[in-house]
Each structure stands twice: as C-alpha cells, then as structure tokens.
Amino acid sequence: MQLKPYHVGLTVIAWNRAVKTEALPHPDTSICKNCGAATSGNFCHQCGQATHLHVPTAFEFLHEFVGHYVALEGKLWKSLKLLLFKPGFLTREYIEGRRARYLEPLRVYLTFSIIFFALFKIGGLDFNVMSTDRDELQRAAVEQVAKDKVARPATPEELAQVKESEKDLVEIAGRINPALGRGTEGLLDMPEKERSDALKRAFFSNAPYAVFALMPVFALFLKILYLGKGRTYGEHFLFALHSNAFAFFMLSLLILVPKGWDIVTLVLLLWLTFYLPTAMRRVYGGTRTMTAVRWLVLMMLHTISLSMAVVAAVSQAFLQ
C-alpha cells in the first residue's frame, strides 16, 4: 500500500514526540525522612517537611527561636502599632477576615506575656508576702541591738502568742488539705529569707500558666456582659487575648521606666486604664455609659479571679 504524503508526515510527528518524551528527564524522587512517603520537590506532599535537611547552624537556631517564639518579624511591628495606638482595631480586623497581614492573636499574647514575666523576674521585686509574728520579734530584737547594743529577749507571753497564732494558721490550712497544713507548718519554720525564696519559686513556676488559664474566664465574663449582642465566644476569646497582650506590654514598659520619670509612668498608667473601655466600645459598640458600667464590672471580676489565680500559684510552695 502506498503511503500518502500526509500519512508520512503524521508518522514522523508521532515518532518525534515519542523520542522527545523518552528524552525528558524524570523528576528526582526521594523518601521523606519524617513519614517515609515517596516525594519530589523541596517539601513532602504528605507531612510538609523539607526534603533537603541539614544540621542548623547556631545563627539558624537563633533565627528560628526569634521567629517562632519571640516573633520579632515584620508582622509583629504592624500588629504592635495597631495594638498600642488603635484599641480594638486589631480585633476588628481579625473578626472581619483581614488576618494574613497580622500576627496571630495567641502568638501576640504569648510573646508579651513571656517578656513581662521575664522582666518581672529579672527586676528582683520583693515578694515577701508571708511575714510572721516570729519575724517581727526577730526584727525588733535586731533594732534593739542597733539602738542599745543589747538584745531585748521576747517575753514568754509574746512567744506563746506567736505559737498560738501559727498553730491556728496550720489548723486552718489542714482543714482545707492535710498536705497544705503540713506545708504551711514547714514554711513557718523556715527563716524569712528561705520562705521568701520558696514563694518566689512557686510564683514564677506557676503564675504564667495560671494567668493564661484565666483567658477563657475573661472571655466568659465578656460573654455574660454582652449577652444578646450576637457575639460568639470565640470573638470574646480573641478580644481577651489582644487586650491582655496589651496589658502585658504596658506592664513591661512600667517595669523598664527609670525611677524619677513620674510623668512617663503617669502617661502609661492612664493609657493602661482607659485603653480597655475604648477597645470595648470599638469592638462591641454601645453607649459610653453602658461601656463604662461593663468595664467596671469586668475589672472587678477579673481582679477577683486574678487574685485567686496568684494565690493558687503561690500556694504550690505550701505543698512542696
């Protein structure tokens, strides 16, 4: 059979395509070291881990820590500007769907809470919240020595009164929890310096977690105060993260303000005071009067819950 010219042309084209297909390089495939899936490219299509791995350098470790834990990146500065100078605006942006340009709310909160507790600990603030009658007698004796060069011994009545008050305190703690009673007795027997150090350790070990656990409670207070406004609990929780992140940032600044800068301290305190009601009105709406009433109730409830959280954190020293 004689091939027509167009038959020959089609055959040549098909042959050329087959040759070119065989000549194309096949993409390199590799096995993901994390999940074992066969993958190609820079990232595994199953778990997302990078396919080209190496042991990070010291600089890369530092960059990862800064980027993922302290969050010092471009989004932070934009989020920080809005958080500080436009109360409630960042929350509104997130609720209305404009999120990619800002730092995640939980990350903002964790960043500033970590900074605050670190500064609070470094600041060496006095945390002697459990001075006993026995300590007062010892201080009086020291003062007497400094004044008259002769120590005034405690009278039997004073010693009996001290022992009785300490016994009552141990009994009250023991009724709540036997371990708490034993811990209280042990703390009372410690020297004042050791007792203060134990309370500090308990506070800094547990207070950050206790305060973070208050975020759902803070959001619950908002939910109750704004019943009937059509807001979801998630929106209240979002507002709680942003507003408390701002509070941690301002408290950090107050720790860093040098002594004698009273005007700066006053300005920071005023902005810290009026920030929350301003943010509440921007996010939730309502009149200034109703916003002020809700703010006062919210502050009262939050102060009570915060005090209970701090007491719970410090009380761990009594159980050790």
Give Cβ neighbours of residue 32 (< 8 Å, ≥ 6 apart).
38, 39, 44, 46, 47, 49, 51
pLDDT over 70, % of the chain? 56
Cα–chain-centroid distance for residue 285? 27
Residue pair 284/177 in contact (Cβ under 8 Å)? The answer is: no
Quote the pTM value. 0.63
Q: Is the pLDDT of residue 28 over 60?
A: no
Helical residues (DSSP H) of 68-131, grouped into ranges? 74-85, 89-95, 105-122
Structure tokens, 215: 């975020």
- From 239, 188, 217, 184, select the one nearest 303 (Cα to Cα): 217
Phi-psi region of 4 (alpha: psi -120 to 50; beta: other; left: phi over 0): beta
Q: How far apart are CA 82 and CA 142, in angstroms?
A: 54
The 3-state DSSP composition of the chain as helix, strand, coil percent (nearest 5) reads 70, 0, 25
Q: How far apart are CA 24 and CA 22, in angstroms?
A: 6
pLDDT tens, residue by residue, 96-117: 888 888 888 888 898 888 888 8
Residue 278 carries which side chain, given as an amino acid letter?
T
Q: How far is CA 291 from CA 39, 66, 225, 280, 302, in A?
A: 56, 38, 10, 7, 16
Three-state secondary-structure class, residue 39: strand
pLDDT in tens, 173-220: 566 666 665 666 666 666 656 666 666 766 767 777 888 888 999 999
Identify the bridge partners of residue 31 per DSSP, sorted by sequence position: 38
Using CA atoms, how far apart are residues 155 and 141, in angstroms rounded to an integer?
12
pLDDT tens digits along 153-169: 555 565 555 565 655 55
